[in-house]
A and B are shown apart, each in its own frame.
Chain A
Amino acid sequence: MTLVRLEGAEVIYPGRGVVLGPIDLALSAGEAVAIVGASGSGKSTALRLLAGLEPPSRGAVERNLGPGETSVVFQAPTLAPWMSTLANVALPLTLAGVPRASAQGRALAALDRVGLASVAASRPAQLSGGMAMRAALARALVTRPRAMLLDEPFAALDEITRRDLADDLLRLWAETGAAMVFVTHNVEEAVYMGARVLVLSRGPGRIAVEAATPTGLPRSAGFRATPEFRSAAEAVSAALKQASEAA
């Protein structure tokens, strides 16, 4: 089943011209797609189109998702500093009118899934960068979404934390059965996170190449060292280089 479909979708900003498109993209239930592109290729704009946060200037966006069935994770954890971690995670539920007690119970369960139940009462400022991003993931999971859209979520984290979170995210993706769109500028991360990788060209962003990655999500330990991973990464990297130079 198709959750979101972009058809000839274009985004035009006044003064900046066409920043994205036209692009065609269909997101099926339960799949994992990575979008990789250089900065300025309209990756975040594409994500906002998919999330329904922004309308296309031309073309069509068809979304078969109800309220609360889409969640978005941004590059920064985007937690409200004045709320406890638990209240931050419960926010999507309380905004939708879920009673406080049950919202908090579900938020605590979501925090538990990302290994943060013990810091539920802490404020975001007391969390490390990796923990704050985990809390953001918990908030994205709490509504049991059918589509999770992530906009360079690990870009600000160190390499070890980034790899841990990548595996955790793939495990959660497999457990929840939600579709995932993972936007990144890092080729290896794209190959690691997506069953297919869309390479965006620059100015305006268009899908230059679509590449399938080695099968087997979540990735097994040592996947990064396999020849299959290396060759897929090199192929996507070459495609990205070509797409960026063509512009």
Chain B
Amino acid sequence: MSRALAPLILIAIVTALWQGVVQVLRVPSYILPAPSSIVAALGQDAPLLVRSAWRTLATALLALGLAAVFAGVLALIVSLNPILDRAIRPLAVTLQVTPVIAIAPLFVIWAGVEHPGRAVIALAAIVAFFPIFSGLARGLASADPDLERLFDLYGARPLQRLARLRLPSATPFLVEGCKVASGLAIIGAVVAEFVAGSGGEQGLAWRILEAGNRLETAKMFAAILVLALMAASVNAAFVWLERRALVWYRGR
């Protein structure tokens, strides 16, 4: 009870202070709008914000799916071939540590002016790729060594070892990787939307940009709030999924 209540109380206190300070000091609304005007903007823009949020969410989830497919295939290849592992891994790490915002303009050029959405999906997928790839690659290599010895003892063929030992052993790592990747996919999608920055790509980032350009700060806050709530919900969904997957995996 108190665990759910504590953050709500904190939010209430901060909001009340915020409202009070803005009213007493007469802060201009384009610098810091009162919580009440943010709520008003939220109500006014609700349909548009929901549409944009769905756009960004769909992009992120599509990117997550693409990343999972590519990361899965590559992790499997790498787990079967140590030479390829040594060849691919440094490239994957380099791609991962390069800030996505730096390579975003390239992708926008490649995707072409008419298809900024493709660039956004590709960039979000690149960001989501690494945790799934590294999680699965690590999981495939981390089966219990004594179970590996049992598979040796009973003459398991390579395919049997993969399907009945390494893939199941990797499942918790894969689920964890997808959870981390889901958060990164949203970040990647929003960053890419910012860089694409055209009216053609109507995600939440565009709502923030548009409101910012017009100094409608309350609308910016409203869009940011929707974005934060969306990301938190996706994270909560994956935390729940992970817990369910582990229960299924371990049987308790």
Which A residues contact B (CB, under 8 angstroms)?
48, 51-53, 67-68, 70-72, 74, 76, 78, 80-84, 91-92, 95-96, 122-126, 143
Contacts and interface: CB of A to CB of B under 8 A. Distances in A.
A126 B168 CA distance: 18
Contacts of A123: 250-252
A51 B153 contact: yes
Contacts of B151: 95
Contact of A96 (B146, B147, B155, B165): B155
A51 B150 CA distance: 10
Contacts of A78: 144, 146-147, 150
Interface of B: 144, 146-147, 149-156, 160, 164-165, 168, 171, 249-252
B144 A125 contact: no
B251 A81 contact: yes
A172 to B, nearest CB: 19
A95 B160 contact: yes
Contact of A68 (B154, B171, B252): B154
Given A80-B168, A95-B154, A95-B156, A53 B250 contact: no
A204 to B, nearest CB: 22
Contacts of A80: 147, 165, 168
B152 A91 contact: no
Nearest to B171: A82
> At the interface, is chain A mostly helix, strand, loop or mixed?
loop
B250 A125 contact: yes
Contacts of B144: 78
A96 B249 contact: no
Contacts of B152: 53
A67 B155 contact: yes
Contacts of A76: 146
Residue picked from B150, B155, B160, B250, most chain A C-beta under 10 Å = B150
Nearest to B160: A95
Nearest to B167: A82
Given A78-B147, A82-B168, A91 B154 contact: yes
Contact of A125 (B147, B149, B160, B251): B251
Contacts of B171: 82
Contacts of A122: 251
A76 B165 CA distance: 17
A150 B186 CA distance: 51
11 contacts: A51-B149, A53-B149, A72-B149, A72-B150, A74-B146, A81-B250, A82-B168, A91-B150, A95-B151, A123-B251, A125-B250
Contacts of A143: 154
B127 to A, nearest CB: 30
Nearest to A77: B146
Nearest to B144: A78
A71 B154 CA distance: 9
Given A82-B250, A123-B252, 14 more contacts: A51-B153, A53-B153, A74-B149, A78-B144, A80-B147, A82-B168, A91-B150, A91-B164, A95-B151, A96-B154, A123-B250, A125-B250, A125-B251, A143-B154
B252 A126 contact: yes
A58 B250 CA distance: 42
B167 to A, nearest CB: 10
Contacts of B164: 91, 95
B237 to A, nearest CB: 23
Given A78-B146, A80-B168, A95-B160, A71 B153 contact: yes
A91 B156 CA distance: 10
A83 B150 CA distance: 15
Residue picked from A70, A72, A126, A143, most chain B C-beta under 10 Å = A72
Contacts of B155: 67, 95-96
A70 B150 CA distance: 10
Contacts of B153: 51-53, 70-72, 92
A95 B165 CA distance: 11
Residue picked from A76, A91, A95, most chain B C-beta under 10 Å = A95
Contacts of A91: 150, 154, 164
A76 B171 CA distance: 21
Residue picked from B144, B153, B164, B252, most chain A C-beta under 10 Å = B153
A7 B8 CA distance: 73
B84 to A, nearest CB: 25
A88 to B, nearest CB: 10
A68 B149 CA distance: 13
A125 B252 contact: yes
Nearest to A92: B154
A82 B146 CA distance: 16
